[in-house]
Amino acid sequence: MIFTLYVRFVKHRLGFNQFFRLSTMSGQKISVPSENSKGPIPAVQFNDPKNQPMGVIVLQEWWGLNQQIQDTAQELANRGNFTTIVPDLYRGEVATDNEHAGHLMSSLDWQGAVQDIRGCAQHLKKQGCAKVGVIGFCMGGALSLASAALVTEVSASAPFYGIPNKELADPSSIKIPVQCHFGEQDVLEGFSAPADQDKLKESLKAGGVQFEFFSYPAGHAFVNSKGDNYKKEVAELALGRAVDFFKKNLA
């Protein structure tokens, strides 16, 4: 309670930009080797694998490496006693509105992003994590599924409301446990709407993938506390399930 009041005070007195710089001090800014043609991937890491040997890669929405996704990574680290790492897939750019976010997402080299995720998994393992999971939201959800199929260093995946196209990755080829989280009222057709969710379930079943699939009475991006579709109770339930899932599969 005291910490929450302090955070509100600092936001009010310093403004958002200065608060952003202050709050990221709780995470360590690092650079991770990547086979992406753009070179090393900037990232923010929470906790130390020497003390928290279960690693979780947390993947951004289409907004970029903003404070909200860092807060989510820190929350997961605290709740699960994980070491979490958030790669900056846009390499320094953060969207300010939907149009900007759409431009950044459409310009993303998705195969390069998978290489960035592989680099983060290798980094965590070199630092002491025996197993590494990946969780992502929206664009990051799609990349979480793609990583489950393509990144052999990943041992478990929890995608939230995002599905990759078949050109990037085939979900039926996944060989690791997957826990999916989607909104029943999601209207993003071709990406995360109920019809897309049904196709994903069929693909996972066809491949004999070990998976759980949770649907919630919510729209897209229901975990994002800064978004219009945020539902606190649903978000808490879904994130709690993801934490338990990783504890089971990364121990």
178, β-bridge pairs: 157, 211
Is 112 a domain residue? Answer: yes
134, β-bridge pairs: 57, 157
Q: Which domain holds residue 80?
A: 27-250
Is 66 a domain residue? Answer: yes
Is 143 a domain residue? Answer: yes
Amino acid letter, residue 24:
T
Question: Which CATH number fits the domain that encloses residue 108?
Answer: 3.40.50.1820
Is 21 a domain residue? Answer: no
Q: What's the Cα-to-Cα distance from 41 to each of 100, 124, 181, 235, rounded to whole Å?
A: 21, 13, 27, 29
pLDDT digits (tens, 9 = 90+) for 137-146: 999 999 999 9
pLDDT of 7 strictly over 50: no
Confidence of residue 29 (pLDDT cuts 50, 70, 90): very high
Name the domain count of the chain.
1
pLDDT for position 16: 35
Q: pTM for the complete prediction? A: 0.90
